[in-house]
Structure formats: structure tokens, C-alpha cells
Structure 1
Amino acid sequence: MRCENCGRDEVNFHYRSNINGKIMEKHLCMDCAAELGLTNRGLNRPQLPLEEVFLRMFGMRPDPRLFGGFGMLLPTFFVPAVVPQPQAPLGEPVFPTDEKRPEVDDEMKKRREINILREQMYKAAAEEDYEKAAALRDCIKKLEGADTNK
């Protein structure tokens, strides 16, 4: 069988594609398949080594002893890390406790209380205890109304 593209060489490459349901088949020789970009011939050739890239770009090869262009020799780059030891013995806090924590103001306490009541209201509504949910709703509105009356 002869190549469908050039018609002179024997077929040794079969190409089949299915694009949007349209099936296309081609019987080609290796030269025509490579010419059409259907083979991996370009991928089979060896890539340029990194040293050759540096040579072409900068006109010099990198020193194999240097690590990553940081100017460090490889053995000095991998120095074992020092793990700090805790200063305080076990059971004692590491940070000083003499600092006063900021106190929660009344506004934050009210917000927390409203959030707790909302959670209880949602839970009561999910359990179909509508009387309790309505009472919690009224309590939330009263607390939120106290904010607007200031």
C-alpha cells in the first residue's frame, strides 16, 4: 500500500482522529507523517544540556561546585538547622502572663449573647418547637433594639 500524501513510499504509519464525531483516517509513510507533525520525532532527539544553554546565553559554563547561582558551595548550603530549645521548664508558660489581656467590652458580650440565642432559635425551629423559636426571636429583637436606642 502506498502513502496517501506522496504516493511513492510504503505505508508504515496509520493515523486516525475523531473530532466532534468526524473520523479521519490517513495511511502515510514516516517522512510524510513527520512532515505533517504527526510523529514524535522532534521529541526523541536529546534536549540541550543545561550547561550548553548557559554557554550559549552567557558565553560561560557554570561552576559545577556552585549551588544555584547563590555563590555558595554545595556542602555549605546544606548545614544542619539548629533547633532552639525552650527556655521555660515544662508546665510553665513560655510567654509572660503579667500582661493584661484586653477585656471584652459590653458590645462584644451582647453580640455573643445574640449569636448564642440565634443558634438556639435555629435549633428550636429545626426541631419544630416554634413557640420556643418565637420567644427566642423576640428576645433577640429586644437585644438588637437596645443597640439602636442608644
Structure 2
Amino acid sequence: MKCQFCNKNEADKVFYLNYMGGLYQISVCDDCLQRMWQQAVASGQAETFRNYSGWWPGRPEPRRYGERAFPDDAAEDLKKRRRLSLLRARLSEAAGREDYEEAAKLRDDIDVMEKEVCSHEG
């Protein structure tokens, strides 16, 4: 199988990612993986790259499907945070349209959601 990035070399690493409910297989050669790592380090995103890919220099294989990068309950929290982000964007749009009734409703929804998402209890 060819590397999905350079389309030249044979892929010797395969990542299995579960992204927004879809399972994706990403085939990458060692050269491209090293370049991605160097770019992540240069941009200050090395830790993010490690967490997302499950790979870093010195680790022989990337994370495999079934290995969890996050606890099982993190998925529900992530959904709530995405919904909160969407509500904030809609609030900004409503305020821009001067639809104050809608903005007030969204503000109230955001307040309720923030208490659920940002709570450190239970």
C-alpha cells in the first residue's frame, strides 16, 4: 500500500482513527511520518501530535484501533463541548442580526450547558 501523503513510498505505518463516528485508516511511510513530526515540533504542536496520533520518535508503532487515547466518558463530554461551541456561534450570529429574542434564548441555553460541561462535580 502506498503512503497517502507522498504517494511514492510503501506505507510502513497505519493509523486507525475514529473521527466523529467514522473509522479511518491512514497509511503513511516513515519519511512522511518523520516530516509530520518535525512540522509538529517546529509549530509547537508536538504534544498534540503525540496525543492525536499515538506516535512519537522512539515509539515503534502508532496507536492501533481499539487503543483508547481518551477515557470512554470523554466522548460524551466532547459532544457537549461541541454543542456549546455551536450555541456560542449561533448567539454571535443572532446578535449580529439584532435578533435579541433568539440571542436571549441562546444565552439561556448556553448558561445551562456551561453548568453541565464546566462542572467539576460528579
TM-score of the two chains, using structure 2 as the length reference? 0.41
Higher relative contact order at CA 8 Å, sep ≥6: structure 1 or structure 2? 2
User: Which one has a larger percent helix, Structure 1 or Structure 2?
Assistant: 2
Q: Which has the larger radius of gyration?
A: 1
